[in-house]
Amino acid sequence: MILDGWFYTGATIGLLSAIICIIATIFRNHPADSSILSLAAVELYLFVYAIYAFISPVPLNGPAWEFWGYIITALILPPIAFFWGITDKTRWSNLVMAAIGPTILVMIHRLQVIWHG
């Protein structure tokens, strides 16, 4: 299996987002701006990844519907966590946002498996 720069970039952004959100959970009693910005960084990465996948001539080694299903699901998760975070004004909203980073990491790994076979 090939793990390319897209995976390592996504892994780094996802893990940093999780760390930032966990630290915010420890020190803040309400949703932190840093947590929200880290979610925005994850969403931006996913958007660029989706554009790259759309224009890339590399054929998929698995079903295309599965690949695009993962991308669409990954693109939907950060906005859901964001809206949860801004409506739930407790400390735990930061922890909900922290779960997105590792979730996206696993999804990006699965996308790499589908992409490279």
Q: What would the pLDDT profile of 26-84 be if each residue is shown by its tens digit? A: 998 888 899 999 999 999 999 999 999 888 866 666 678 888 999 999 999 999 999 99
User: Which candidate, 52, 59, 60, 62, places its Cα nearest to that of 10?
Assistant: 52
Q: What pLDDT shows up at residue 12?
A: 96
Contact 91, 25 (CB under 8 A): yes
User: Which candidate, 101, 46, 44, 95, places its Cα nearest to that of 70?
Assistant: 46
Q: What pLDDT shows up at residue 29?
A: 86
Mean pLDDT over residues 21-28, rounded?
92
Q: What pLDDT shows up at residue 109?
A: 93
pTM strictly above 0.75: yes
DSSP state, 90?
S
- What does the angle CA 67 – CA 43 – CA 104 come to, to the nearest 5 degrees? 55
Q: What pLDDT shows up at residue 115?
A: 82
Which residue ranges make up each domain of the chain? Answer: 5-116
The answer, yes or no, to whether residue 116 has pLDDT greater than 70, is yes
